[in-house]
Amino acid sequence: MRAIVVTEHGGPDVLNPTDAEDPRPGPGEVVVELAATGVNFKDVYERKGNYPMGLPGVPGSEGAGRIIEVGEGVTDLRVGDVVASADFTGSYAERAVVAAAKAVPVPDGVAPDLAAAVLLQGLTAHYLTHSTYEVKPDDTVLVHAAAGGMGLLLTQMIKLRGGRVIGTVSSDEKEKLARDAGADEVLRYDDFAEEVRRLTDGGVPVVYDGVGKTTFEGSLSSLRPRGLLALYGAASGPVPPMDPQRLNKGGSLYLTRPSLVHYVATREELMWRAEDLFGWIASGELSVHVGGRYPLAEARRAHEDLEARRTTGKLLLIP
């Protein structure tokens, strides 16, 4: 099969298409012929070496497609089933292995490419809005990068829960996307904290921040007393060490650095979140914006575009 194999950490140029051995399932695993693979900042962090990744290795964990082989002990999935997962072993490939317990059946009303586009970010948006901070009706929430794949999903889920959204974006084009998704107010990044406090008469109860270094201080300053900063990513770079006294001075603030793995710790929790996602997509309540589809061999270009913030919505690789 064809796959993207990384032999050293570095820039997008280390993403090299090559021939690789076909994967075989171990006990409790299935092999999936992928229809589409999701591209995420997590993949960028692994490529750079910020997150652990064995070398040589195939990046990527998200995708969807049809099962072509099942391993010993798998009883609830069969060859021919369409599944999606955010836990593939190396999904930048034509075929990949995943534990059956981490594979989610894709219903007939959801196309496989949309399932690949939504699962990792959709599960993340779900836990952020339903568990990390349970958005309540009339809550006003700050969402950074509101026109990105995560931002568009967060905005829609906040609206589904009856909340109001203040989004940050970097351009007029991205502002339109954020407003179309339901954002009530859209700001640029310059002096956003001051504007948020003006719009809310003192700050918001929660900030969803996947940008990191460049927005961190402003995010803290956007919170009302006892507010929560959910720092779920670091697209602009890691946040430097901070004095916890900053949280006290800001009004007894809370800071959390959540990860998806801790919010899908059981099969039941994974299925709850995934079934909500796919149900909203099938009913038309949740729209998935695919900003770009790239041939698998052009994974390097997808990473370049993602890191340069030339994209909106979700990026997919098509084997």
Residue 310 has what pLDDT? 87
Distance CA 153, CA 126 (A): 9
What are the strands, taking DSSP E only, across the chain?
A: 2-5, 16-19, 29-39, 63-70, 82-85, 95-99, 104-105, 140-143, 164-168, 185-187, 204-209, 223-231, 254-256, 290-295, 314-318
pLDDT of 309 reads 83
* 3-state secondary structure string across 146-189: CCEHHHHHHHHHHHHCCCEEEEECCCHHHHHHHHHCCCCEEECC
H helical segments located in 9-140: 41-48, 112-127
Distance, in Å, from the CA atom of 37 to the CA atom of 62, rounded to the nearest integer, reads 6
Sign, CA dihedral 214-215-216-221, equals: positive
**Measured between alpha carbons, how far is 156 from 165 in angstroms, rounded to an integer?**
9
Contact (Cβ atoms closer than 8 angstroms) between residue 30 and residue 83: yes
| Residue with tokens 């407003």, as numbered in its chain | 179
Tokens 């051995």, located at residue = 21
Q: What angle do CA 164, 39, 84 make, to 5 degrees?
A: 85
CA distance 281 to 277: 6
Nearest to 50 by CA among 90, 10, 16, 12: 10
pLDDT in tens, the chain (319 residues): 999 999 999 999 999 999 999 999 999 999 999 999 999 989 999 999 988 899 999 999 999 999 999 999 999 999 999 999 999 999 999 999 999 999 999 999 999 999 999 999 999 999 999 999 999 999 999 999 999 989 999 999 999 999 999 999 999 999 999 999 999 999 999 999 999 999 999 999 999 999 999 999 999 999 999 999 999 999 899 999 999 999 999 999 999 999 999 999 999 999 999 999 999 999 999 999 999 999 999 999 999 999 998 888 899 999 9
Asked if residue 208 lies in contact with residue 157, where contact means CB atoms within 8 angstroms, the answer is: no
**pLDDT of 248:** 98
**pTM, to two decimals:** 0.91
